[in-house]
Amino acid sequence: MEIDRIDTDRIEMPDRSGELTLDAMFEALEKMPVPEGIKVEIVEGNIFMSLQRDTHWDIILDIVEQLRARYPRKRIKSDVRIDYPGYLNGFATDVTLIAEGAVKDARGRWRYQDVEFVAEVISKRTGANDYGSKKVTYAQAGVPVYLIADPYTGRCRLFTDPKDGEYLTEVSVAFGKDLDLTDTAVGLTLKTGEFPRD
């Protein structure tokens, strides 16, 4: 089961100024009976919820395990809220690599300026976000490496070199082929041979 999105005008927001904020939206979501295992994020002011599927989780875990061979656990995040530039963007990325030495801000959150790598695994109902709004937002935020793993097409799409709100370089490889990230901020070759397909 996947839930596409929730209209934010149907949720009472506890912000006194009347202006919609990410904090108010997430505070309202915390009061809702969202079942365990449901990923929740806000993209351009719309709330998206999706249920974790086996295929989705297997790819996420594979990427995390490969990153763990090179990076300490504290630098790798999954489904952790990070606020990005643009209108009400509070993403809970599938996999995030935080820069060495990064510290949380005064509110206890990781800053998008410290994100070195993002990986999103496509879900049918939210895939348009990953290929569209989120890709643009990551480029505007200057995220050096953005990877989309798509179990429906059996391909990975890698975006690098963000400039002026877009990625200048794009590489596409089929599942089963190695993805060379050695010349990027990630600094390793990602094996995709065990990525499952849907």
**pLDDT range class, residue 9, cuts 50, 70, 90:** very low
Q: What is the pLDDT of residues 90-101, one digit of tens each?
A: 888 999 999 999
- SS in 3 state form for the chain? CEEEEECHHHCCCCCCCCCCCHHHHHHHHHHCCCCCCEEEEEECCEEEEEECCHHHHHHHHHHHHHHHCCCCHHHEECCCEEEECCCCEEEECCEEEECCCCCCCCCCCCCHHHEEEEEEECCCCCHHHHHCHHHHHHHHHCCCEEEEEECCCCEEEEEEEEECCEEEEEEEEECCCCEECCCCCCCCEECCCCCCCC
Q: What is the average pLDDT across 161-177?
A: 96
Q: Record the pTM.
A: 0.81
Q: What is the pLDDT of residue 90?
A: 85
**For residue 46, what pLDDT is reported?**
67
